[in-house]
Structure 1
Amino acid sequence: MRAFVVLRGDTDSLPITDWSTNTDEHSPATAIVDLAAIRHNARVLQDRAGGADLMAVVKADAYGHGGLPVARTLHEEGIRHFGVARLDEGIRLRDQGIADRILVLEAPSPEHLPHYVEHSLDLTISSTRTAADVARLASAGAPVRAHVKVDTGMGRLGLAPDDVTEVVSLLADTAGIDLVGLWTHFATADVPESAFARTQLERFESVVDKVGAPFDRVHAANTGALLTLGARAHDFAAPLVRTGIALYGLTATPDLEPRLDLRPAMQLQARVTHLKTVSAGTPISYGAQWRASQRTRIATLGVGYGDGYPRLCSGRASVRLGGSLCPVVGTICMDMCMVDVGPPNQDPAATVDVGDEAILFGPSSPSVHDVAQWAETIPYEICCGVSPRVPRRYVQPEEKAESAGAVQLSSSERSP
């Protein structure tokens, strides 16, 4: 539930749904999403995928970037396949006008199967039980588009390789079922030279050879496999490459970054809401665990773990403020954090003022990878964790992230 803010110019391809009363103008924290970067990343990935089409994974509100504006941008780049995690995500995109193919990656509940038909969503067959449920639904006259998932070693969802042939035969013999996909998912493809990833691929190749080709699409490669296993991971007839994190300009680990010319699409920033000078020995924030070692200027930022800035970054992180990297000091609070900007008579302390913007992460240092390392997690969690109360400001293709001129659509211009 968030407000959408757009830059002046063509707004036809941008969302106008008011999901919150919070606005870029009123909120001390803002996430800027560069749609030009997402376009660039899509083109880079399409080039790397060769002749394979992309399935853009836009689950979890496009990894926190905004499912609708991202999907619309990627459609303009020629992408016609999307992946979401949950049924409600697929329905939301349909209701917002996305007409391309949408695969729901989760295992469907039997009672929810009619909704897949109603909203023209592709579903995942991940068990013999689901296959039987879908066969009964299709026999009743409801057409179903199904992707059969094979568990080649992820251990999460999917049919055992030995069960695939029987399930495919059942589905192929049932009128009303369109077998549109056969797929698997890698557990260790983000690790270069992973023997287990190669083992999974060999298992999947064996299944593909055994069942033949009754499918419209065969897909195994995710972003990691595209980078580490190469073309073999999508060397199938009519392949898809499912890509998520790379669309947003990131890789699972920093060491994979040099393998693609990606541009991070999100920048999280927060305004200075308070400034004060403290004497040596003054404690800052909950627990009084940090104390100033000298007379110091402290800037309070209007962002905290309630906005998705991890509490575990306390005493570890830095932000960019006044042109310098400044350490976060004291415990990060739900709505605020504090930054040491140095001695009062020196820069940046001498020039930083209330209302100035601090960058918590973005395309340059500090990066999402930096925050993930400080928080002992992965970049996926940092992007997905940016709270819905943080407005997203969408930057148009030739604009810079720091560009002025953002406008908030009035309530009369928004759809319900």
Structure 2
Amino acid sequence: MGVTIDLNAIRENKRRIEALGRPVFAVVKNNAYNLGMEPVVTTLYAEGVRHFMVTTLDEGSEVRVHAPEANVLVMNPVYEWSAVHRDGLDVAIGSYDWLVSQRHELDGVRLHLKLDVGMNRFGAKTFEEALAILAFCQDEKLNLVGLCTHFPLADADNAEIEHSVHVERFADWSTRLIERHSFEVVHAANSAATLQADPRLGHCTHVRVGIFLYGYSSVEAVDWLVPAFHWETEVVAVHDIEAGAHVGYGTGYTAPSKERIAVLSVGYGDGLMRARRHLSVHINGRAFPFVSNIFMSHSFLRVDETVQIGDRVELYGNETKIDDVTRTGHANNSEQLCARSWRVPHRFEGGILCTQATNPFA
């Protein structure tokens, strides 16, 4: 029982994404979407991935251990430089002011110019600021190797027009910047944008994907993605209750008639989000609904006489995937993956590290 991470699925997703036409720039922030930095990076590096993106310096240094010859891009603004120089990390330019203020640390550092086309997080907010950054890098002979953006609406419902505006803005700015400078790598398409094959992004050298690598899509269903995440638990108690009996804390659920209730030893303390209760789980191939809330250490199902103590319960797997829960509108893919606690037993299949996993944060 516990979580199984299928590294073969991650390997296959990488191959299928690249079959669309461009190499993968792998997003492995937040412990590789909480699937385990070491096994995921090791798997992707063995598959030929040579560009990784993370959020923090600590993540960058961790990737460097497992991908010694890769380029590792840190997207958060950097103000402490020892890890960058020690581990040879790439750094994103957060703004013109940041660039000037950090000039004394930038010799030899691989820099990426980020264009803020609507996220309002980091990057040049106007073409004029982007030109100023480019001119400063050229005048100071800095190693400007990358050009990138992040589309804020590629996976949002009913946002096609505004997303198109963001794509057009990046296409316009980046094309004009490429005329002035030779960039080694140009990356813009996140997972959702990868599907769109927008000709305006034809000058990009890589697709920068995260959630697709792990087998999930927050937009329309993508039938060629292979889910990498499986989570099973077991029935630890079964009760026959009378009409009017309550289940769990308080009176959130009251049985309308005689019912058989199964207790699972898993809850939000393990990272099983309360949104999961909106879809059934499966026991021996049959669907059974949650009742009451999901609590810290336990959750409850309405079952029948076929369910017994010790039965295996599929929380996420072949019958119900993270995507399915996401499409109920109560949670998203990344949130469900990142919520999960590593106190749950983990194991990996299909890779070099096919063992019981330990807590990466211990």
Compute the TM-score of the two structures, normalised by the length of structure 1: 0.79
Alignment partner, residue 270 of structure 1: 233
Alignment partner, residue 393 of structure 1: 347
Whole-angstrom CA distance in 2 between matches of 1:371 and 1:384: 14
Aligned mate of 1:69, from 26, 36, 39:
39
Whole-angstrom CA distance in 1 between matches of 2:344 and 2:329: 19
Instruction: Give the alignment of 1:199-210 within 5 angstroms.
Output: 199-210=165-176
Gaps of 5+ in 1: 1-28, 343-348, 398-405, 411-415
Aligned mate of 2:315, from 349, 357, 360:
360
Whole-angstrom CA distance in 2 between matches of 1:194 and 1:330: 38
Higher relative contact order (Cα pairs below 8 Å, separated by 6+ residues): 1
User: Per-residue displacement from partner, 1:56-79 (whole Å, max 9, x unpaired)?
Assistant: 101111112111111111112211
* 1:233 shift after superposition: 5.0
SS state of the match for residue 289, structure 2?
A: strand
Aligned mate of 2:124, from 140, 159, 163:
159
Whole-angstrom CA distance in 2 between matches of 1:409 and 1:219: 33
Whole-angstrom CA distance in 2 between matches of 1:193 and 1:334: 36
Whole-angstrom CA distance in 2 between matches of 1:261 and 1:311: 28
Residue type at the aligned position of 1:337: S
Residue type at the aligned position of 2:51: H
**Residues 233 and 68 (structure 1), Cα distance of their counterparts in 2 relative to 1, 3 Å cut:** farther
* 1:408 shift after superposition: 4.3
1:44 and 2:12 equivalent?
no
* 1:114 shift after superposition: 3.3
Instruction: Give the alignment of 1:137-152 within 5 angstroms.
Output: 137-138=105-106, 142-152=107-117
1:105 and 2:79 equivalent?
no
Alignment partner, residue 56 of structure 1: 26
Alignment partner, residue 10 of structure 1: none
Residue type at the aligned position of 2:230: Q
Alignment partner, residue 323 of structure 2: 369
Alignment partner, residue 321 of structure 1: 283
Residue type at the aligned position of 1:236: H
User: Per-residue displacement from partner, 1:328-350 (whole Å, max 9, x unpaired)?
Assistant: 112211011011112xxxxxx33
Whole-angstrom CA distance in 2 between matches of 1:409 and 1:186: 34
Aligned mate of 2:97, from 129, 133, 141:
129
Whole-angstrom CA distance in 1 between matches of 2:166 and 2:15: 28
- Is this contact kept in 2: 1:281–1:293, CA < 8 A? yes
* 1:375 shift after superposition: 6.7
* 1:244 shift after superposition: 0.6
Alignment partner, residue 55 of structure 2: 85
Residue type at the aligned position of 1:87: L
Alignment partner, residue 85 of structure 2: 117
Whole-angstrom CA distance in 2 between matches of 1:44 and 1:169: 39
User: Per-residue displacement from partner, 1:305-358 (whole Å, max 9, x unpaired)?
Assistant: 0111122445x331111321111112211011011112xxxxxx33x3322221
* 1:38 shift after superposition: 0.9
**Residues 88 and 305 (structure 1), Cα distance of their counterparts in 2 relative to 1, 3 Å cut:** same
Alignment partner, residue 252 of structure 1: 218
* 1:224 shift after superposition: 1.3
SS state of the match for residue 221, structure 2?
A: helix
RMSD: 2.4
Whole-angstrom CA distance in 1 between matches of 2:87 and 2:313: 43
Residue type at the aligned position of 1:276: H
Alignment partner, residue 295 of structure 1: 258
Residue type at the aligned position of 2:332: I
Residue type at the aligned position of 2:188: A
- Is this contact kept in 1: 2:345–2:357, CA < 8 A? no
Alignment partner, residue 304 of structure 1: 267
SS state of the match for residue 313, structure 2?
A: strand
SS state of the match for residue 381, structure 1?
A: helix
User: Per-residue displacement from partner, 1:215-250 (whole Å, max 9, x unpaired)?
Assistant: 21111111111112x15254116x111001111111
Alignment partner, residue 30 of structure 1: 2
**Residues 269 and 179 (structure 1), Cα distance of their counterparts in 2 relative to 1, 3 Å cut:** same
Whole-angstrom CA distance in 1 between matches of 2:355 and 2:62: 25
Alignment partner, residue 197 of structure 1: 163
* 1:97 shift after superposition: 5.4
Instruction: Give the alignment of 1:281-292 within 5 angstroms.
Output: 281-292=244-255
- Is this contact kept in 2: 1:134–1:144, CA < 8 A? no
- Is this contact kept in 1: 2:348–2:355, CA < 8 A? no
Residue type at the aligned position of 2:38: L
- After TM superposition, the structure 1 stretch with the greater mean CA deviation from structure 2, 57-66 or 166-175, is 166-175
How many residues end up aligned between the 2 structures? Answer: 354
User: Per-residue displacement from partner, 1:87-125 (whole Å, max 9, x unpaired)?
Assistant: 1111122245554111112222x2x13321221111110
